[in-house]
Amino acid sequence: MRNSTLTKGSLTRQKIVAAAAPIFNQRGYEGSSLSALMAATGLKKGGIYRHFSGKEELAAEAFDYTWAAARDARLKGLDGQGSSVERLKRFIANFANYRSAVPGGCPVMNTAVDADDGNPLLRARAQKALKFWLSRLRTIVRQGIESGEIRPDVDAKAVATLIVATLEGALMMSRLAQSRSGGTGRKMDALRGAQRHLNQYLDRDVAVDRQPSSGIHISTPSV
Amino acid sequence: MRNSTLTKGSLTRQKIVAAAAPIFNQRGYEGSSLSALMAATGLKKGGIYRHFSGKEELAAEAFDYTWAAARDARLKGLDGQGSSVERLKRFIANFANYRSAVPGGCPVMNTAVDADDGNPLLRARAQKALKFWLSRLRTIVRQGIESGEIRPDVDAKAVATLIVATLEGALMMSRLAQSRSGGTGRKMDALRGAQRHLNQYLDRDVAVDRQPSSGIHISTPSV
């Protein structure tokens, strides 16, 4: 059982993971060469792999690190005030506007694409991350249904899945359209379009009271 | 200049590309080892690279092959009869239902993710493929505007981008959620949800005459 006091070894281990994370996220598992990992960490092979059972374990921990950074950027401010719909819009805006501290795009998409021909350990991490992420969004939708802000007939899972799919696909297109030197601050049409579309979808199809002419009028219960 | 009569060399070259295509699409550039390429083609290193300047050229031609297969599967039946909106729905159904003849998922997404830290040749091929694809969808939208089936204020580029983004993101999620052994015929919730959502979007926000209660009524001009 680990103690909360970090030993020198576990500190080194954390530093290696942090240095290796951008390499794996940008280059993928196979593309992350030993020489690149050595250059990033400033350690020799023995110095790196003293702390890990092998490349697969290092890559899995690097994924967790990269995912934690992406998740924090996307979920920023979501525990604060605001209605459920506002929180979903905040999430969408976070995704469209903020890049994670670890470069290379979304680790879930990268790992999904990279690990779909094998590497079950990495694949399982990406699956778990996606599940957690969808679960957070579903919870917000359900809270909105309970508080009467979101229509009771809305399928929380479908809303969460659609938001993530639209944003992930738009991110891929934005990144592909960018010039290589492009980082933050570049024009990203696909992400802007996805944000506009999803906000409209939330107002019209998810939120209560925004579609007075829909034929189905649901009064807001005071729960 | 090439003659339309294929030489034995160019036939061999085509066979190598066809055999290498699934390897590159599933494993990525770095993950496509010489041994895997040799096993797939049944040739030794010299037999493969006699026909190509190197791995990068083979990977680029493999991308073109894989993209042609994906494009054909997605655009199937789009030149036939039917309104513009029906053709867009057909495209969406093709994407959601048919898998390309080359396994490994969408080559544009795979290459976008795989080549975003380098490999400018592959990246340029993926950019070109995405542009062609968006351009085909934009043309369908513009034809619909001209024929009065699609609202004149619709942004053709935005419609094309949103359709591709939503489907690509949903495909990534579907593939990640699938078990490793899963191929065609598996339940793919994210793709089904994307299809339903996009069809509704086309009916409500793109097609003329489908939203009588929108407040903005556009009469169908007889062009």
Distance in angstroms between the alpha carbons of the first and the last residue of chain A: 44
CA atoms within 13 A on the CB side of A64: 10
Q: Distance between CA B135 and CA B75 in Å, rounded?
A: 12
Return the H-helix or E-strand segment holding B24: helix B8-31
Distance (Å) from the alpha carbon of A132 to chain B's nearest alpha carbon: 13
Return the H-helix or E-strand segment holding A189: helix A189-201
Positive or negative CA dihedral for A208, A213, A217, A222? positive
Q: Which of A145, A198, A119 shows the shortest CA–CA distance to B28?
A: A119
Long-range contacts of B91-94 (CB under 8 A, 24+ apart): B91/B137, B91/B140, B91/B163, B92/B163, B92/B167, B92/B194, B92/B195, B92/B198, B92/B199, B93/B195
**Between residues 127 and 156 of chain B, which touch chain A (CB distance below 8 Å)?**
127, 130
Distance (Å) from the alpha carbon of B49 to chain A's nearest alpha carbon: 21
Tokens of residue B7, six digits: 């030489």
Helical packing angle, B34-41 and B8-31, nearest 10°: 140
Q: Which of A62, A67, A87, A65 shows the shortest CA–CA distance to A76?
A: A87
Collect the ranges in chain A with pLDDT lower than 70.
1-6, 117-118, 179-188, 210-223
Predicted local confidence at residue A155, as pLDDT: 97
* DSSP bridge pairs for A183: A185
**Residue of A166, A203, A210, A213 to mutate, testing the B interface (most B Cβ within 10 Å of its Cβ):** A166
Interface A-B, measured as beta-carbon pairs within 8 A, has a size of: 144
Each residue's pLDDT, cut to its tens digit, for chain B (223 residues) gives 444 556 777 878 999 999 999 999 999 998 899 999 999 999 999 999 999 999 999 999 999 999 999 999 999 988 877 899 999 999 999 999 988 899 999 999 999 998 776 688 999 999 999 999 999 999 999 999 999 999 999 999 999 999 999 999 999 999 999 854 444 444 558 999 999 999 999 999 999 975 455 444 444 444 3
On whether the CB atoms of residues A115 and A126 are closer than 8 A, the answer is: yes
Instruction: Give yes or no for B20 touching A (CB within 8 A).
Output: no
Residue A193 has its nearest CB partner, among B28, B130, B162, at B162
